[in-house]
Structure formats: C-alpha cells, structure tokens
Structure 1
Amino acid sequence: MPSEEPSMSRTNSDATVPPRLDTLVIGVTLFHLGSLYNDQSTMTFRRGMGTRVEIPVTGAFIEMADGEHILFDTGMLPPGWEGHAPPPRVLSMIANYGPQDDIRARLGEIGRTTDDVKMVINSHFHWDHSGANRLFDKARVFIQLSEYRFACLPDTFIEGPYIGNFLEKDRPFELLEGDRVIKPGIAVLTTPGHTPGHQSLLVRLPSGRTMIFTGDALSCPANLHPQTPPGNAHCLEHAVASINRLKMLADFLDGDLVICHDPAFWETWRPAPHCYV
C-alpha cells in the first residue's frame, strides 16, 4: 500500500509532470464506480459465511504522453442502458450506483470523455469489470484469449458473472496469450484463478513507483496470508499461485498493490480528480 503518497501524487490542476524515459505514463486517476453486496466467504475462503459486506467497484484512467490514454476496467453498465437490463440476480447485488458512478460522469470529473480512451484493458469479463465496455466502441480492448474463450462458453457452475448480452462477441479484440508489455510503463500480467484468463496490470509512474492493479486476483488484503485465499476462485490452486506472483512482484519492485474490491479501498486511495504520478 502507498507509504509516501505526497511524493507520488498531484491534482489534475497541477502542471503536467514530464514522464520518465522508460515510461509513457503521465499519471493515474482512480474512479469510484459504485459498490456491490457480497458474502464475506467469497472474499476469504470458508470464513465469514452469511456475513454481508459492501465492496467498491473501481476503475483507473491512465494518462499517456502519446495521447493513447488507457482505462483499466470499465465498471458496470448503467441499468437499462439501451435495453440492456441486467438480470434480477445482478440488480440484487448492487449496493450503490448513482448517476455520478457512471464511467462517463467520472471521466467528466477530470475533463475527459469516452472518446479520450483509446485502449481498454479488462482484468476479466465479469459484468462489474467490463459491463461498460459498450460505451467505448472506438477503443481497442485488450483481454486474454483464454478469458475471451471462457466468457463465450463458461462452465455452468461459474457462468453467472458473465452476462451474454453485455459481451460484444462480434467486436474485434486484442487477444493476448500471456504477459505482454503494451507500452513503455504499461504491462499486463497473467494472474489466472479467479477466472481462467484473469490478468492484472503493472503501471510505472513518472516518479518511478509501480502500481500493481490486482483486479480480482486479490479480493482483500487478507488474501495475502497463506491461510486465507479468496473463496470465489474458478481454480483455487491457480488463484493462490497468482497471489504469490503478485506478492513477489510487489516486494521486488517495491510496488503498491491496488486491490480493486478491497472494502477499505477508499480509506487507502484517493478518487478522482486526484492523480497519482
């Protein structure tokens, strides 16, 4: 978690910080995109069954020096958008979602629109991470090939979070097969377990710090302890291996793990219009 926030942050009103030569990243802004109800046991394996917790839905806008700005996860599709109403089981999970939590509204807070997003990188295709992809029809979407295949035909016991009418199967995707440097300072890291093709994101800031967006590879900080893996993994063995990989990278790079569904997320991180540099 961030230990020296003042040295790696600025507001969007500050002058643009020149990027380091080894990164095109200018800054990262975090978005609050609503919240969901979840059972504690889905976050901590076999612990807290029957205890309802509220978890944030988050996204990140990455400003790039070359103008090809990136969005990591798009959040939920606004309910009822152009007839795409989520099923009742999904609506029952939404704890809070107002007009201000629409990804378009959050982009507006920093003077951006959907047209400014040139690349979308989804951690995976669950509805709370990719539901609003439809709003970015001009952006290139990066996803693991294994995740795309699984989302099109998921195992029946885990198919609930994949909503068919939200997944544009005829849209061209940038299908990745493993780890990939997308741009200087931006790399995707395969972290399967939560889903077969889950990926996390490494971002090198101009300050030299590294932000590691875990997606759902980590549900909460408790998962960093060996005896408390997440409880909603497609494959628990792969999930634990991915957690260990993220821990190692965070230690090696002295990086900050951004645990996207951490219930205490906004106690640690600052939302838009704040910008991390």
Structure 2
Amino acid sequence: MRSIFIWTCLVATACSDKDVDLEETKQSVAVVSVAPITWNIVGLDSNDITTGPSTYPVGVRITNTGDATATNLTASFAFTTANSFINLIGPSTVSFASLAPGASVDAYFDVDVTRNNAAKGTARRYVVTVSGTGFTTATSPTPREVFVESLVSQARNETLAITGPASVNVGDVVTYVMDAKTATNGYEQLVASLTFRTAGFQVLSTASTYSAPPNATNNKIYADACGWDNLPTSPTYRSCIGPEQFAGGKAGGSVRVTYVVKVVGSGTFPLTGLIYDFSGASYHYNANFGTFNLVVTSNAAPTAVNDSFTV
C-alpha cells in the first residue's frame, strides 16, 4: 500500500508545532513488473538448415504487485540492436483489458531466424515495454537477447501426442495438451512447447509436468533447471551458474504441457511439438519436429443471425 501523507495545520490565530496533526490518506495503486519466461537460446539445425525449427516463442510474464487494478495494458516488443538474420513475425503488441492485484498474464512474440548458416553464433537484443492506465510504464530486464546456436537433431527428444480441437472459431478459448519425452533424467535446460503462432492464438496459460525430478511441475514452457546465465554481458553467459531451479539441476523425462489459448486469428495452423535442450555442452531438438502435427483450422467468428421479423 502506498501512502500520501497530508500535513494539516489546525490554527486559531497562529500555527505552532503542537497545533499540527498528521492525517494519513491511503491511495491504492497498480505496480506492474515484466519478467522473461523463455530461454534466450534459439537455433538452426547443425547439419541442414532447411530442416528443423526456425521460429521460437519469446515471452514475458506481466504481474501486478500493487493493490489496484491496472487497465488497458499493451505489451510491445522491440529489438534494440540490428541483425538481419533475426526478425519478428506476427504481431509486435499484445493487449489486455485489465490486470487485478496479484494477477499475472503472459505475452508471447514469434521470433524467426533466417535459414542461413551465417546466422549461427549471432544474437539480437530486445526489450518488452508494458504501458497502460493506472500504473507506471514497465520494461523487461535489459540487456536481454536471443542467441542462435547449432541444434543437433536427436530421437531421444520426441513428441508423442498432441490433443485438442482441430476446428475452432475466432474468440474461442480452448485447451491443447502435448505429451513428449526426453532422456530419462532430463536436461539442465529444456523447452517443451507447441508452435502456436501469435497471428492465430494468444496463450493464456501453460502448465508443465515432468517425471524427472519426480512429480516436478512448472507454469512455463521453459525449465531453467540448472540456473542459466542469461545476461549477455556476464563472463559466464550461456552456462549453468545456479542456483538450481529443479532438484538435481535437470528436468524432463516424461513431459506433459497443457496450454489454454484464445483464438485470435483465422487460417490454418499446423501445431507441432518443439522439444529442445542443453546437455553435455551441446544443444539438441526432437528429430520428429514437423512430422508429428495437429493441423488446426481457425474460422472467423460466426455471424449472429437475426431471425426476428416485423409484421
């Protein structure tokens, strides 16, 4: 609770110290914070850049730590450095009508890496700015960047099932579930996600479970098990520095990720599982990426029919 202190001088003919009372008026305010919720690593296939993933979700969690509702929130993504190989596709803004005290919402943006070997080993910095009504504009931590690594295709990472409706309408709120697997004991870094394009879907929530460590849960698609250094200016950048976020410093095994999404655009959207990781000093992704799909057709919102008539 923030307070505004108003000093009131109660006087008859003159004002003295003993004549002064303190009146405290309390004013509720919204306080918004912005925190990254996705890995800074993206990549291209180590051997054949024409295969494997090239588009990755970059997300932030917006939290209202104040005691009043924030309204008319807009999260805006912007690059702060140049790199022609790393670009945004789809919307650069995500809007939210309101955010209650103590509540959080996630905003995702699609970052695409040009399929060119020269992109590997390069990076591009970005910031997400959240503005609106009833709070001070907030930004994600800086510096922060996406860094392009070489990813090795491996069968030990695998999408096993994707369930959810294949036909939806704009405005629908629907649930999709991906079941996947990794190496039995998991990895120091793990992303297990579905390729929801921001042109068609707004992710409302995610919930992940892992068999390693036993009964582990996560409210993000990114499991920072070992305590990864995401700070580009750090001498230990892109390495495990701790503290561990999951017992044993690894996460994975049998993986289930549950998405709740809102349909925001029409078209045809192939959903495929992307499971990529860091382990043993290298980066890997699931060999069945792009071959195990659920194709979702999103239709424009149905038009209401006026069946009334006048005699």
For Structure 1 versus Structure 2, the TM-score category normalised by the shorter chain is: under 0.3
Larger radius of gyration: 2
TM-score for both structures, normalised by structure 1: 0.28
TM-score, L = length of structure 2: 0.25
Structure having the larger proportion of residues in helix: 1
Q: Which has the higher contact order (CA 8 A, sep 6+)?
A: 1
